[in-house]
Structure 1
Amino acid sequence: MSATETIQTAIDSHDVVLFMKGTPKFPQCGFSSQVVQILGYLEVPYTTVNVLESDEVRNGIKAFSNWPTIPQLYIKGEFMGGCDIVREMFQSGELASHLAEKGIDCKQPAKV
């Protein structure tokens, strides 16, 4: 299976996919760790792909999304962005709202 096929299969098979460096229990970069913490706080069910396990996937995801950095978050097949975008969406409440709109259970932050 090519890197593109591996990436597409992961995105098609799961509602929320995080392409990251390392694993949720042992993230290998601070940016991946931040996104894992955000998804954990929102109690979002998600799957991960450790890009450090395959140079083809690591480079392939950048070409696939036309986005130069990792981590990368996909929700229902839609590329959401990297750490900075996910963090901004989380802080504004947009991430929880988007997940709810897509029918994905998550903890809704309190309204301020």
Structure 2
Amino acid sequence: MPRHILDESRIHPAVREAVAQNHRDIVEEVSAAVDAHDIVVVGMAQNPSPKKARKLLDAAGLKYQYLEYGSYFNTWRRRNALKLWTGWPTFPMVFVKRQLVGGASDLEKLVASGELKKLLGRG
């Protein structure tokens, strides 16, 4: 099912550039990492879920790129740009082979079912 996103034609021309450029740098950084690595985990400090995702990958012996943006006390506006970009509401955001697979509990299910190895072409 496609995600419902406000069509650009419904954004006034005077603000389109501001919408398009809103924390674009963080989105481009994550997008470049997703293009360059088989597995990317995007997280934040003090949140136990990104740590859980990294532990799962470490236990499975899988290499990954980890990007961390702020904590509960800062950087929420920049992280919000990632949420808007992906549509995923929480951290971590886990990408496998350029595809968003969800968060830590979703990754745990992929590992347990063997699906993660299949996504990586190893199973």
State the TM-score, normalized to the length of structure 2. Answer: 0.68
- For residue 58 of structure 2, what is the amino acid of its counterpart? G
Dislocated runs of 4+, deviation >6 Å: none
Question: Alignment partner for residue 103 of structure 2, among 62, 82, 85?
Answer: 82
Q: How far, CA to CA, are the matches of 2:53 and 2:27 in structure 1?
A: 23
Q: Could you say which structure has the greater relative contact order, defined with CA pairs below 8 angstroms and 6 or more residues apart? A: 1
- What is the DSSP-based 3-state SS (H/G/I as helix, E as strand, rest coil) of the residue aligned with 1:58? helix
Choose 1 or 2 for highest CA Rg.
2
- Which shows bigger deviation, 5-14 or 60-69? 5-14
Alpha-carbon deviation of 1:2? 2.0
For structure 2, the 5+ residue unaligned runs are: 1-23
**Paired residue for 2:26?**
3
1:3 counterpart SS class: helix
The alignment status of 1:31 with 2:13, answered yes or no, reads no
Residue of structure 1 in register with 2:40 after alignment: 17
Matching residue of 2:11: none
In structure 1, the residue matched to 2:5 is none
Partner deviation per Cα, 1:18-50 (whole Å, 9 max, x = no partner) = 00123xxxxx22211211111001111111110
Number of residues of Structure 1 aligned to a counterpart in Structure 2: 97
RMSD over aligned Cα atoms: 2.0
Q: What is residue 48 of structure 1 aligned with on the other side?
A: 66
1:13 positional shift? 2.1
Q: CA deviation at 1:56?
A: 4.7
Paired AA for residue 60 in structure 1: A
- The farther-off stretch of 2-11 and 67-76 is 2-11
